[in-house]
Structure 1
Amino acid sequence: MEKYKSIDHQLRATWQAVAKMYNEQALTHNSTMATAFVLLNIDKINGTPSTALGPLMGMEPTSLSRILKNMEDKGAICREKNPDDGRSVIIKLTEYGKEMRAVSKGHVIQFNETVIQNVSQKDLEGFFNVTSKINKLISDKEIYKETSNKAV
Structure 2
Amino acid sequence: MDKYKSIDHELRATWQAVAKVYNEQAVKHDSTMATAFVLLNIDKQKGTPSTALGPLMGMEPTSLSRILKTMEDKGAICREKNPEDGRSVIIKLTDYGREMRKVSRGHVIQFNDTVRNNVSEKDLAGFFKVTSTINKLIADKDIYENVNNKAV
TM-score normalized with structure 2 length = 0.95
Equivalent residue number for residue 22 of structure 1: 22
Q: Does 1:119 align with 2:119?
A: yes
Q: Does 1:52 align with 2:52?
A: yes
Q: Partner letter of residue 83 of structure 1?
A: P
Equivalent residue number for residue 62 of structure 2: 62
List structure 1 runs of 4+ shifted beyond 6 angstroms: none
Q: Residues 65 and 147 from structure 1, CA distance in 2 versus in 1: closer, same or farther, beyond 3 angstroms?
A: farther
Equivalent residue number for residue 85 of structure 1: 85
Q: Partner letter of residue 33 of structure 2?
A: M
Equivalent residue number for residue 128 of structure 1: 128
Q: Partner letter of residue 48 of structure 1?
A: T
CA separation in 2, counterparts of 1:82 and 1:118?
44
RMSD across aligned C-alpha pairs, in angstroms? Answer: 1.1
Q: Partner letter of residue 105 of structure 1?
A: R
Equivalent residue number for residue 41 of structure 1: 41
CA separation in 1, counterparts of 2:147 and 2:52?
31
Equivalent residue number for residue 76 of structure 2: 76
What percentage of aligned pairs have identical amino acids? 82
CA separation in 2, counterparts of 1:59 and 1:135?
16
Report the alpha carbon displacement of residue 145 of structure 1 after superposing the two structures with TM.
2.1
Structure 1 gaps, min length 5: none
Alignment deviations for residues 67-114 of structure 1 (CA, whole Å, 9 cap, x no partner): 000000000000011000001110000000000000000000000000
